[in-house]
Homo-oligomer: A and B are copies of this chain.
Amino acid sequence: MTTEQLVAQIRKKKSFLCIGLDTDLEKIPPHLLEEEDPIFAFNKAIIDTTHDICVSYKPNIAFYEAYGIKGWQSLEKTIAYINANYPEIFTIADAKRGDIGNTSTRYAKAFFEDLEFDSVTIAPYMGKDSVEPFLAFKDKHTILLALTSNVGAFDFQTKLIDGKELYKTVLETSKTYRNSENLMYVVGATKAEYFKDIRKIIPNSFLLVPGVGAQGGSLKDVCENGMSENVGLLVNSSRGIIYASRGVDFADAARHKALELQSQMAELL
């Protein structure tokens, strides 16, 4: 998917909501455990009731990998279902991978070609030759971890290098990578005060923003400081939406929570 297609979808739906499919057998409604593939059954129901008010789904790969081969089957079915039924949706494999050269190319092929995700999240620690293999894929997007929403972000990401935080060095250095136009960045909503500085370095890049809701970030602050001309934001909510209810009404409850966020987004756009 091109960035232009993503922006057009955002304008049409008046939404820049990404729903995180962090699907956990211990948290989904118990009645689904009788299904042949409870994870896929849960995801399908969430997707069918929210696809018109969000623009993106983001399965966190850890939740699938944790169930081994069965988990991978659920992931394959989920992404295939989205691509077949709602091809306008921007899909994110939240994998946070990072390896070198040929190995990165392996991961890129797995997520971009075999599973047909539009994008994948990548850790920057190993540098250029760990990121560029992902950037080589046309109309695919590499979402680099810049400033994450967790407490541990302060261990290294905000440390000063020549008077400048590491995450800014990551932003600036990554702009020099080949095919850097295919880059997006993860910036946590819990750090909204940082967005203005970030926009000085990457004025138009899309930012994937976790941490609104459960983690305490404010949608309004994120938009005021981080929105660009082409919107440039994908705001993610996972648990706050998908686990809104453990009853048989879980999908409707999820839609209700997603609508709350989407209507705020419509006002902010």
Contact = CB atoms under 8 A, between A and B. Distances in A.
Interface of A: 22, 60, 62-63, 65-66, 68-69, 72-73, 76, 96-101, 103-104, 106-107, 109-110, 114-115, 123-131, 145, 148-157, 159-162, 166, 169-170, 173
A96 B123 contact: yes
What's the number of copies of this chain in the assembled complex? Answer: 2
Contacts of A114: 66, 68
Contact of A60 (B72, B73, B103, B150): B103
Given A125-B125, A151-B129, A170-B156, A68 B63 contact: no
A127 B153 contact: yes
A98 B97 CA distance: 8
Contact of A156 (B65, B68, B101, B166): B166
Contacts of A109: 66
Contact of A126 (B97, B128, B150): B150
A123 B104 CA distance: 14
